[in-house]
Amino acid sequence: MSSAENERIAANVAQWTRTNAEFTDRDAERQWRDPQVYWGEFGTRDEWLGDVAGLGVVELGAGTAYFSAKLARAGARPIAVDPTPAQLETARRMQRETGLHFPLVEAPAESVPLPDASFDLVISEYGASLWADPERWLPEAARLLRPDGRLFFLTMSTLAHLCTPDEDNQPIVNRLVRPQFGPWETRWEGYDGAEFHLSHGDWIRLLRANGFVIDALHELQAPADATTHEYYLVIPADWARRWPGEDLWECRKT
Amino acid sequence: MQEDVDTIAANIADWTQANAEHTDASAEKAWAHPGILWGVFAIPEEQVGALPGSVDGLDVVELGCGTAYFGSWLQRRGARVTGVDPTPAQLATARRMMAKTGIEFPLVEAPGEAVPLPDAAYDLAVSEYGASLWADPYRWIPEAARLLRAGGLLVFLVNSTLVYLCAPDGEGVVGQELQREQFGMYRIRWDGAIGVEYHLAHGDWIELLHENGLEVEALHELRPQPGAVDPAYYDFVTVEWAEKWPAEEIWVARKT
């Protein structure tokens, strides 16, 4: 890994150590105990994964591994990968409390110490999808999957990114405030981590270059009764009812 | 079906007027252009790479060909083109250009929603601001899929989703404010317009293509070349805006 990449991963680990102390540690209990699989901040119920029983799953950027826990409850065999020790510590505590045990691997999605062509499903729900370099983690996802294996990843929508003010955790606006043509890597004032925001065209190009077929782009709409997330304030629910705040890509390895 | 007939008739009326105002007069220059250009900023195909590297010997159908300049560029490169358009006035202009240039290929008067051509007979279906914007995608995409051979390619240019979201009602250029919701976007008649346009969100395009056995290969989000100028006739967007956000996009999908 390059020194720039090491620095960026370290910055994201520092940011997520802080976020874990502020929010994800205390939120883990609720998430781990709720068997329902949701996508994103507005509680969109999954209707795309299908039956995951028996599937070998890797979650890239798993955080406190609640998504993997839900899949484990549904009979999958997940391995949760994340670079932030504090979040994996929370995941371990939840494993002890719930008895739901599966492997936790401390690694960035840019370099995953797991074997080639060994998994049926790769998931990233606001994980590698937003905080890892897509030119590094998509090849890793492709490498890990068996032929016909599926990749699902959720990230902030391109449109929401274009409407995001510079200041950290400020709500997005009904206006394009940053160009789409520009670098993917984004740093925010008052936020240590580095994010990657791609246009849909760029995602399609990278996915195709890594041997993926694009089965769907689910542009998520906040349900009528959804409220703005208690901690992640960037996408207000009323915005996400009019425009997609989150994109869920559904792909298949050829 | 009455609604379909009405929107098709409205678009024929719109393009009859546009042909009298602009496309008839600009046909000669467009047909004579040596390169293949995309969109209102005339971006060269060599910069985009949306089409097959060679179209020589390919059977091509152009859906919503207008005055058929795009088809003429492909015909000159060895393709066997059939141009399809519902507007008699534009086809008359195309015929005049054929007589003038000697570049001749079949023209069929029909909307993109119902094309009287055989199944699985084409290697390439193109629509450059044709059916792609003025035909109902839930009818013309199935038609494109039907016309293509297995392994054939569909390439179409549309306004970007961002242009749809940021276009003012009525007069004026695209700005930065989101003027309308994305959810539910599909069919729109702009204030003062005769015709009806169809705009889909990216996720809806992908779903529709996928359902019709068309595998998405690329979405080219176009950016003007350095030195590009504001469009003169299709003046909905400025270079300054299009330098920052894609005003136009090309979908490429392959029939499986």
Residues of B in contact with A162 (CB under 8 A): 162, 245
Residue B2 reports pLDDT greater than 70: no
The CATH number for B181's domain is 3.40.50.150
Q: What does the alpha-carbon distance between residue A139 and residue A148 come to, in Å, rounded to a whole number?
A: 15
Give residue B36's domain range: 2-255
Cα distance from N-terminal residue to C-terminal residue, chain B: 30
Residue B192 reports pLDDT greater than 90: no
Residues of A in contact with B244 (CB under 8 A): 176, 179-181
pLDDT the model gives residue A157: 98
Strands (DSSP E) found in chain B = 37-38, 43-44, 59-63, 80-85, 107-109, 122-128, 148-159, 187-188, 197-198, 214-222, 248-255
> B255 — contact with chain A (CB < 8 Å)?
no
CB contact under 8 A, B165 and A159: yes
One pLDDT digit (tens) per residue for chain A, 254 residues: 789 999 999 999 999 999 999 999 999 999 999 999 999 999 999 999 999 999 999 999 999 999 999 999 999 999 999 999 999 999 999 999 999 999 999 999 999 999 999 999 999 999 999 999 999 999 999 999 999 999 999 999 999 999 999 877 789 999 999 999 999 999 988 888 899 999 999 999 999 999 999 999 999 999 999 999 999 889 999 999 999 999 999 999 99
pLDDT the model gives residue B86: 98
CB contact under 8 A, B182 and A219: yes
Average pLDDT value for chain B? 96
Minimal-distance CA residue of chain B relative to A175: B177
CB contact under 8 A, B244 and A163: no
| pTM more than 0.90 | yes
Which residue, chain included where needed, has tokens 């601001």?
B129
Better-scored residue on pLDDT, A183 or B170? A183
The number of folded domains in chain B is 1
CB contact under 8 A, A241 and B183: yes
Minimal-distance CA residue of chain A relative to B162: A159
Three-state SS string over chain A comes to: CCHHHHHHHHHHHHHHHHHHHHHHHHHHHHHHHCCCCEECCCCEECCCCCCCCCCEEEEECCCCCHHHHHHHHCCCEEEEEECCHHHHHHHHHHHHHHCCCCCEEECCCCCCCCCCCCEEEEEEECCHHHHCCHHHHHHHHHHHEEEEEEEEEEEECHHHHHCCCCECCCCCCCECCCCCCCCCEEECECCCCEEECCCHHHHHHHHHHCCEEEEEEEEECCCCCCCCCCCCCCCCHHHHHHCCCEEEEEEEEC
Residue B1 reports pLDDT greater than 80: no
Q: Are A98 and A33 in contact (CB under 8 A)?
A: yes
Read off the pLDDT band of B140 (50, 70, 90): very high
Q: Are A190 and A167 in contact (CB under 8 A)?
A: yes
Domains of chain A: 3-253 (3.40.50.150)
In the beta sheet, which residues pair with residue A39? A44
Residues of B in contact with A157 (CB under 8 A): none
ipTM for the assembly = 0.96
Q: Are B115 and B216 in contact (CB under 8 A)?
A: no
